[in-house]
Structures are given as structure tokens and as C-alpha cells.
Structure 1
Amino acid sequence: MQTSAPLLDEPLPVELMNTIWADRDGVHDALAEQDGTKAWLHAVAPRIELIAAADLDALVAAEVDLIGERLHRLRDALRRLAAEATGDPRPAAASPVSELDSAVAEVNQAAAAVPRWSVLTWTAGETPSRGTGTSGQVAAAAVSAIAEEAIRLFTHPDRQRLRACLAPGCVLYFVKDHPRREWCSAGCGNRARAARHYQRHRVPGIDAKG
């Protein structure tokens, strides 16, 4: 089971935003089906301390529709916030959530949906460790954890490093982690440079193949 969403080692809220992605065939939703939701959760489970990948199937079996709905609502809200933060001009990347206030309310609701707290584990003779407890269903709590991480992202100075990838046809977001980084991936960088090259050398009225 492999997610169709591009995973670019971005913060988890950005990875969730990027479950909307595009190729030559158009814009796609990696969470459109139950299998897609499960595949994405499998892919990111190692980064969510509430979920063990080995236990994921059992955790989501009875609540995959609920989790999918929560992920969709959170994802659309986060894309609206990202568009606000980046001044995103891309029509194809627009979120169905049009109002900023609605997006903020959705993220806050998601973060508060399932209480979580730190749990200390310490066995004599071993190193103490920190875990996370929850009063709700674990997979649902994971969605709330992503929302909480998103709140930290948008209220931290790192918000200013969030970017919309402006390569042709791309609808992804990324966090600029290097001064020279302009695109979400090397592939998008190559497409953008190719498009620039074509525009510089295109002869008006002559087909590109000519």
C-alpha cells in the first residue's frame, strides 16, 4: 500500500496539504478513497507518536470514514491558511474553504477534538521515555495532533518560509529550507527552467516543433 501523494519531508501539516497534487492529467486528491486515506496514514505514521504503523489497520478499520472526513476538512482549511500566508496566486490550488475565519475555526476545532497529554514511562534500570496518551480514538487523535502542529507552524516565524510552488502545473506547498530553493522538488525546478527556456527562445508564430 503506497500513497499517491508526494512526500517531500515537509512538516506534517504541509504533507497533508500536499495530498492535493497535480500532474499532466490534472489535479488529484490522494485522500479521495478509503484506501488512499489508509495509504497516507501508513506513510506518515512513523512521524506521529500516537500511531504505530503495525497497529494502524486495526485502529482505522472502524473509523476510516470519520478519519477521512476529518483529514479532508483539516486539509482544505490548511490550504486556505497557506494561501493566505504565501499570497498564493494559483487558481488550480485554491481551497474550497473561501473564508479565512472558517479555515481558522476548522483548525482550532480539529486541534481541540481529542484531548492528548504526555505520559511518562520509566522502568527500573532503564531510561525514562515520554509518550502520549489520549482519551479518544487514537487515529482521530492523530488528526488533532496534526492540527496542533499546524497552529505552531502558522504562528511561528517559520510561517514566513512557507511557499507555494509556482512551477507550471504544480499545486504543492513547501517550507523554504535553503536560500536558493525556489521549488517544491527538483522535478518542478526542471519544468520551471524548461518553461523559461522555451519562453526566451520561442519565435512568435512558429510552432515549438519547428
Structure 2
Amino acid sequence: MTTFPLIGEHLALDLLNTRTAEGDLVADPAGLAAWLAEQAGRLTVVDAVGEGEVAAVRAVREAARPALDAVRRGERPPAQALRVLNGALSGAPCHRVLAWSEEGGLGAAVHRPAEPARRLAAELADAVAELLTDPGAGRVRECEAHDCVLLFLPAHPRRRWCVAGVCGNRTRVARYYARHKDG
């Protein structure tokens, strides 16, 4: 079973964090299905995950990283990254569907009539677009642990690690041993 090191950040960051220092956590249908299960309630349910869904999700992720890196530096994102993201967005346009429910009254749910791979790519590209255009995108940080590549949006300006109990502890222990190595 795949365990994901960081879940619950902005959906686009959760997607980017599927590429870790250990490898690609959504490289195959089983890995993507596990990640989608972790994201329950944030994405439309995909009944069966196949190679098409894996390719679509990975394409969005690979375009999102250079775009976010550029935005964090206050620069223009690469044109190719924007083409991929815009292609994913246009592959499954959405519209709202009004519906009445006795529990919640009138609601407007987003509906994307497309095959699962295109719908999933569009939903994720939408999350990436939301993050890229958010004024807080420049605050996204990389974990400061030397062996970690995960991203996070700090709730506190002094946050340095993706998961303080993991990367923070490893860093503190390594510093402790380095200081006491010759002592």
C-alpha cells in the first residue's frame, strides 16, 4: 500500500507532492487509485483507473511544477506548461447544474461531461490554475530537509518543513549528531 507523505495541502500541492525524493507515487494505476482515494471528496470519483488516467494526471503535474516555480519567482511561466494546463482545462469544460435537495436547499454542482481521464486532468488543472493565480502562490515553500522535495503552503511564517514530526525531527537529529560526533 502506498502512503503519501503529505496530504491536505491545496489540491495542486498534493498533486505536485506525488513526486517525492523516493520516486513517482502515481506512476501506475494502483498508485493513482490510492492517491485518488486519499483525495475523496475533493475530486470527482473515477470508477476505474487505467493508464489513460495516469498519463493525464502526470501531464498536468509535470506542467504544474515549472509554472509554479516561475510564479514563485515572480516570472512568466513557461509557454509549454501553460499550453498543457490550458489543454487539460479545455478538454473537459464545466458547467453548473442546479439541483434541489431537501437537506441543503438549492445547490449548483460543477459538472464536467467528459471521459474520466480528461475530466480528472481538467479538475486538477483547475486546481493548479487556482493556485497559480492566487496572490499567496509566492508563499509556497519547499521543505528545508536536505532529502525532501515536497512543497507546502505555510500557515505560520516560521514553518520550515513539510511535516515537522518527520523532516523536522530528522533534520534536528542529524544536526545533533553532527555537533556531537567528535565529542
TM-score normalized by the length of structure 2? 0.85
Indicate the percent of aligned positions where both proteins have the same amino acid. 33
Distance change in 2, residues 1:202/1:102 (3 Å): farther
**How far apart are residue 153 of structure 1 and its match?**
0.8
Q: Secondary structure at the match of 1:189?
A: helix
Q: Secondary structure at the match of 2:110?
A: strand
- Equivalent positions of 1:29-178 (< 5 A) are 29-48=24-43, 50-51=44-45, 56-57=46-47, 60=48, 64-86=50-72, 100-122=78-100, 127-138=105-116, 140-178=118-156
In the alignment, what sits opposite 2:170?
191
**How far apart are residue 126 of structure 1 and its match?**
6.2
Count of aligned pairs between the two proteins: 179
| Whole-angstrom distance in 2 between the partners of 1:79 and 1:166 | 18
- Could you list the per-position Cα deviations for residues 134-154 of structure 1 after superposition, in whole angstroms to 9, with x for gaps in the alignment? 221245313211111211211
| Whole-angstrom distance in 2 between the partners of 1:80 and 1:128 | 40
2:65 maps to a residue whose letter is R
Distance change in 2, residues 1:114/1:155 (3 Å): same
| Whole-angstrom distance in 1 between the partners of 2:54 and 2:41 | 19
Gap runs ≥5 in structure 2: none
Q: Secondary structure at the match of 1:47?
A: coil
Distance change in 2, residues 1:123/1:200 (3 Å): closer
Worse overlay, 121-130 or 148-157:
121-130
Q: Return the index of the structure with the highest Cα Rg.
A: 1
Worse overlay, 170-179 or 130-139:
130-139
Gap runs ≥5 in structure 1: 88-98, 204-209
Instruction: State whether residues 116 and 141 of structure 1, in contact with CA within 8 Å, keep that contact through their aligned partners in structure 2.
Output: no
| Whole-angstrom distance in 1 between the partners of 2:28 and 2:151 | 22
TM-score normalized by the length of structure 1? 0.75
**How far apart are residue 191 of structure 1 and its match?**
1.6
- What is the RMSD of the two structures over their aligned residues, measured on CA atoms? 2.4
Return structure 1 stretches of 4+ with deviation > 6 angstroms: none
In the alignment, what sits opposite 1:96?
none
**How far apart are residue 43 of structure 1 and its match?**
1.7
Distance change in 2, residues 1:165/1:125 (3 Å): closer
2:31 maps to a residue whose letter is G
Distance change in 2, residues 1:128/1:198 (3 Å): same
